[in-house]
Chain A
Amino acid sequence: MKKFLVLFLTVILVLSFAASCKKKAKEVPPPPPQAQEQPKVEKVEEPAIKEPVLTEEEIFMKKTLEEINQEKPLAMIHFDYDKYNIRPDAVPVLEANASWLKKFPTVKILVEGHCDERGTEEYNLALGEKRAKSTMDYLVSLGISADRIRIISYGKSQPLDPGHDETAWAKNRRAQFLIIGK
């Protein structure tokens, strides 16, 4: 038992000596201030940014007009030769365009009327306007406010397809949409 006590005391002594030695060593180099700050910096945790859930409208509003137009949310429609009435195949396209416009009620659009090269300069400018106008009227009949729509005629001056055959002409007789405000 006595033997144990001696051993215990010895251990204590050794430990305290070791501790005093450590203390002395610590005193010699003063800790550089950076060393003290560094752990602090490490401790700063980047706050986890919590992505707020944006509505479709908010996403839309963040985009520029160019970006929106590049996505072509409003499909163009086509017309018969020398005609400006809305073709049956254009009806579902305009209905889809109208529901998109209802989803984004602040959007303003420009409807461009275009013609193929088989019309004269003068008559085509008027015909392009008629095509834009009948397109606008149809959108209005689907509940889109007329003051959200502007129309313009480019006649035959901006063909989509530069070809000179029926395929090109059919593509070029069109009304297309440009978003000009939101």
Chain B
Amino acid sequence: MKKSATWILCLFILTAGGLSLFSQQEIVLTIREGVPAISLALPPFISDASSAEAREAAETIHRVLADDLRYSRVFSLVPREHLNYIRPLNPKEIFFKDWESIQTRILVVGEVSQSQNRVIFEVKIYDVKSEKMILGKRYQADPGVFRLVAHRVADELMKLYGEKPYFTTKIVFVSNRDGNDELYMMDYDGANQTRLTFNKWRDYMPAWSPDQRAIVFTSYRAGNPDLYILHPYEGKLTPVSTKGTNFSGAFSPDGKKLAFCSTRDGNSEIYVAEADGSNARRITFNSAIDTAPTWSPTGREIAFTSDRTGTPQIYIMDAEGGNVRKVSFGGNYLDAPAWSPDGERIAFVSRVDNFFDIYILNLKTNKITKLTETRARNESPSWSPDGRHIIFSSNMSGSIQVYSVDYDASNLRCLTSQGENKLANWTN
């Protein structure tokens, strides 16, 4: 008894000492996040050594899943080195106390095998404290979908912890890589960039429907900037507003309404129509420019840009057009509002000394924070479905590319590189 107590004490001292170096960084991260991240261990997946394809699957899925979880800000990965302090993982007999000792809350165990021509990926997710499996899934996969399998597992983990899954969602954007501005879509991490429109005219300002089955966008294909709805998976294209200049389409969060901007009545005004574009009603009545509508997550309000006081500023109104109030302050050129999915924040662009930066207005505290600081043109912010990330376009590297940044300005990454890429949209 005494012997084992000493052993535990030794282990504790060793572990604590060994960890202190590494844990420092994590503490900093925790403070920046506001909420403590869930500590998750992702030991290398075990693969059937005789199959090269199984080995490749194990490596790819592990790498992509690790990237997803690091990006999430919901989970923090237990550093790989910490796994050296405990016994090697045996999927048949898991020593949960080992994992607890390296501060693991969730353990993800993956095994890849090959059966005939198919790769089988089996994942088990354990809650370390209760020593119980909380999720088990088996996926059949071929090399084309290894990334997708990893994103699916990441989505399952997000759902387990009450977070909005988004790793299988797509970003739609505009690229001129094939000669003129066309619509493209890509995975959230920039992988699988796919062209969606094929013509010699400009396609512009795309925005997803909430189920990501439809895209509203502006196209010059008929010689005029008209508003269209594209169903990319059905290959169906429908014009919805074709008189005057029609742009800045935005589906409501329930997918039932479509807000857009049009000059059909002679001036740039905001209209709200049914999701198919029918029955459009004008909701702004002002000789100034009213543009860039963005819905609140409840669908009851719309934020927009107006220069009714002389310079473009951000306003909020009811979805029927009443109760208009200015919410921006301290700038003289503000545009491109994007309402966060939690409803508390509005991201927008502000121009100061010919530089554009992304700012976030917190509607609860009425405080504005600056998100980008690059002496460049940072434009067109769009939130991730969970509101922890913002994508935007920027010429900070010289050419215009799509970037992603976390809500606290950390983790800036560039998602595109071919041609110029802009007007990226992830949610509303």
Contact = CB atoms under 8 A, between A and B. Distances in A.
B189 to A, nearest CB: 24
Interface string B212-250: 000000100001110000000000000000001101100
A126 B268 contact: yes
B224 A152 contact: yes
Output the residue of A125, A127, A130, A153 with the most chain B CB within 10 A. Answer: A125
Interface residues of B, number: 35
B225 A121 contact: no
Given A118-B351, A120-B356, A152-B224, A126 B245 contact: yes
Interface in B254-299: 261, 263, 266, 268, 289, 291-292
Contacts of A118: 351, 354
A152 B291 CA distance: 17
Interface in B281-336: 289, 291-292, 305, 307, 311-312, 333, 335-336
A100 interface: no
Interface residues of A, number: 17
B111 interface: no
B181 A126 contact: no
B266 A122 contact: no
B266 A121 contact: no
A88 to B, nearest CB: 21
B394 interface: no
A16 interface: no
A82 B351 CA distance: 12
A123 B289 CA distance: 8
B224 A126 contact: no
A117 B377 contact: yes
A144 B311 CA distance: 32
A122 B305 contact: yes
A136 to B, nearest CB: 11
A120 B205 CA distance: 12
Given A129-B268, A130-B268, A157-B202, A123 B335 contact: yes
Interface string A143-172: 000000000110001000000000000000
Given A127-B289, A129-B245, A120 B268 contact: no
Contacts of A120: 312, 335-336, 349, 351, 356, 379-380
Given A117-B377, A157-B202, A125 B245 contact: yes
29 contacts: A82-B333, A117-B377, A119-B333, A119-B335, A120-B349, A120-B380, A121-B205, A121-B336, A121-B380, A121-B422, A122-B247, A122-B248, A122-B291, A122-B292, A122-B335, A122-B380, A123-B289, A123-B292, A123-B312, A125-B218, A125-B247, A125-B248, A126-B263, A126-B289, A126-B291, A129-B245, A130-B268, A152-B224, A153-B225
**What are the 6 closest A-B residue pairs judged by CB atoms, nearest first?**
A120-B335, A126-B268, A126-B289, A122-B292, A123-B335, A129-B245
Interface of A: 82, 117-123, 125-127, 129-130, 133, 152-153, 157
